[in-house]
Amino acid sequence: MIKPVGSDTLQPLFVYDTDKHHALMHEAESLPSVIISSQAAGNAVMLGAGYFNPLKGFMAVGDAMGCAENMKMSDGSFFPVPVLCLLESVDAIGGAKRIALRDPNVEGNPVLAVMDITATEQVSDEQMAVMTSKVYGTTDPEHPGVAAFNSQGRVAISGPIQVLNFSYFQSDFPDTFRTAVEIRNEIQERGWKTIVAFQTRNPMHRAHEELCKMAMDAVEADGVVIHMLLGKLKPGDIPAPVRDAAIRKMAELYFPPNTVCITGYGFDMLYAGPREAVLHAYFRQNMGATHFIIGRDHAGVGDYYGAFDAQTIFDNEVPADAMDIEIFKADHTAYSKKLNRVVMMRDAPDHSKEDFVLLSGTKVREMLGQGMAPPPEFSRPEVAEILMSYYQSLD
């Protein structure tokens, strides 16, 4: 099986030992504590689940700046984005060096992790601007990722953490949320050697389904891990339970048995385009995938990124030895009326726009909201039914 990034074995920060876990939970109740931001909570969950291997906790500002500027920490190790815990104030924890981090997304703010603070630093406006610009490619406050990143405080606490729970992801999505450890175990149990990973924050239409099949055929994969984001999205995106139901129905009806593993991870979407694509590849290697699909406008939003910037960043900016996972570069996929099947548009040079079934996301949402199923060339009828039910429930 493919090795994790930066180590021979996965080193998740979740405390699995029952006695240690119990002792830490007991200790945490007497420690000074702080409620962290949703973005920091997502980072803690990813650290606990092994996706951010081999990081040991939250970065100091110097490491975060290095990751933003050239995807390298001060010791030279590769990581594509800053992993910070930013607070408005450290008044609640005073000068404590060992604290409890509390969950902002669960009622009662339970303890998420115990942290040993190695540094407390003020982040300057200039440093925030540099990190924002480098990671998101813009400082526009209208960009949802930029807005979320900059809505946090300006005091960075750094140091190793021990993770004690996976926030709401495990309880809200018991059939879907999986750690990198669990996915590796499942891949091993299934006997898969070559594994394609597919990222989604949306339901999957025909083009997505066929893209997974094309990638599997091209690399002779044993299976595909459909790995959906379960954290916070921007307004208007379809909630995770609806996406989950639609994807499971598609996989059940339209993929051969034992070729699909449907899972999810606990993280808030960054909408950081190319940089987020690199992060996605990074943690897909950690979960055991050998190949990762990156298509048109991967992890993008609005018009902030070029259609294929998320592919070219791997050629132009990511060091060749940074990761072992291979990128499957996909073009825009659409149903060809000429060929009666879904194709990558670059593979059909003799086609005009009229030869494809092309529908905008807006048009599809309008149709679904009106109880109209998109054409079967665009969406499987069983998937459309689930989505229609959701959109009509909004009225």
The DSSP code sequence of 173-218 is -TTTB--HHHHHHHHHHHT-SSEEEEEESS---HHHHHHHHHHHHH
Residue 301 CA to residue 304 CA, distance in Å, equals 7
Q: What are 241's two structure tokens? A: 């339970």
Task: Count how many residues are written for the chain.
Answer: 395
pLDDT for 367 equals: 85
In the DSSP assignment, the letter for residue 78 is B
What distance lies between CA 21 and its chain's CA centroid?
Answer: 27
Active site residue 243: no
Active site residue 165: no
Domain residue spans of the chain: 18-170, 175-393
Q: What are 238's two structure tokens? A: 């379809």
Q: Residue 302: what residue type?
A: G
Measured in degrees and rounded to the nearest 5, phi and psi for residue 130 equal -65, -50
pLDDT for 357 equals: 85
CATH superfamily entry for domain 18-170: Sulfate adenylyltransferase (3.10.400.10)
Residue 42 CA to residue 349 CA, distance in Å, equals 43
Q: State the catalytic residue, choosing from 202, 248, 296, 365.
A: 202
pLDDT for 224 equals: 98
Contact 282, 180 (CB under 8 A): no
Contact 247, 204 (CB under 8 A): yes
Q: Residue 107: what residue type?
A: E
175-393 CATH choice from 3.40.50.620, 3.40.50.2300, 3.40.1390.20, 3.40.30.10: 3.40.50.620
Residue 388 CA to residue 137 CA, distance in Å, equals 35
pLDDT tens for each residue of the chain, 395 residues long: 999 999 999 999 999 999 999 999 999 999 999 999 999 999 999 999 999 999 999 999 999 999 999 999 999 999 999 999 999 999 999 889 999 999 999 999 999 999 999 999 999 999 999 999 999 999 999 999 999 999 999 999 999 999 999 999 999 999 999 999 999 999 999 999 999 999 988 888 888 999 999 999 999 999 999 999 998 777 777 888 898 999 999 999 999 999 999 999 999 989 999 999 999 999 999 999 999 999 988 998 989 999 999 999 999 999 999 999 999 999 888 888 889 888 888 888 899 888 888 776 677 878 888 888 888 888 899 999 999 999 888 87
Q: State the catalytic residue, choosing from 154, 190, 201, 248.
A: 201
- Residue among 386, 176, 134, 383 at smallest CA distance from 276: 134
pLDDT for 202 equals: 82
Residue 97 CA to residue 32 CA, distance in Å, equals 9
Give the number of other Cβ atoms within 10 Å of residue 316's Cβ: 9
